């Protein structure tokens, strides 16, 4: 049996795939109640923790991407709001300029009448 360096009490093979307690090194099974691969409960827990950690990292990455996208959308909305306000001001100025000559024509027409 090969043992890990630094842990002479290790019961795992050097490959880390099976237990020394009767499971085959081919990874076809182990003690009763164990998954194929012979890792048993400890292996399942380790995989479960690794899967949970990977899921947590993916979720955090997704949250960061969504936060960045939301920030960009908010900035774009502020830009559109500012542009809209500027266009409304320009529209008001154009309407006032157009009304001035019309008023002048109406005043002249009333004066002549």
Extract the tokens encoding 55: 């899921």
pLDDT digits (tens, 9 = 90+) for 81-113: 999 999 999 999 988 888 777 777 777 777 786
CB 10 within 8 A of CB 3: yes
In this prediction, residue 13 carries a pLDDT of 45
Q: Between 112 and 16, name the one with better pLDDT.
A: 112
Residues forming beta bridges with residue 12, ordered by sequence position: 19
- Cβ-based neighbours of 12, under 8 Å, separated by 6 or more: 4, 18, 19, 20
CB 27 within 8 A of CB 37: yes
Model pTM greater than 0.75? no
- Measure the CA–CA gap between 108 and 17, rounded to whole angstroms: 101
Confidence of residue 45 (pLDDT cuts 50, 70, 90): confident
Q: What is the mean pLDDT of residues 13-30?
A: 45
**What angle (nearest 5°) sits at the alpha carbon of residue 12, between those of residues 9 and 4?**
60
Q: Does residue 7 register a pLDDT over 80?
A: no
């Amino acid at each position: 049996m090969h043992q890990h360096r630094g842990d002479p009490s290790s019961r795992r093979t050097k490959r880390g795939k099976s237990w020394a307690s009767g499971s085959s090194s081919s990874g076809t099974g182990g003690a009763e109640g164990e998954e194929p691969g012979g890792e048993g409960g400890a292996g399942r827990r380790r995989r479960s923790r690794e899967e949970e950690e990977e899921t947590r990292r993916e979720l955090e990455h997704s949250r960061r991407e969504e936060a960045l996208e939301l920030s960009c959308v908010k900035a774009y909305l502020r830009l559109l709001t500012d542009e809209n306000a500027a266009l409304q001001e320009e529209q008001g100025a154009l309407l006032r300029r157009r009304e001035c000559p019309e008023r002048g024509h109406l005043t002249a027409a009333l004066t002549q009448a």
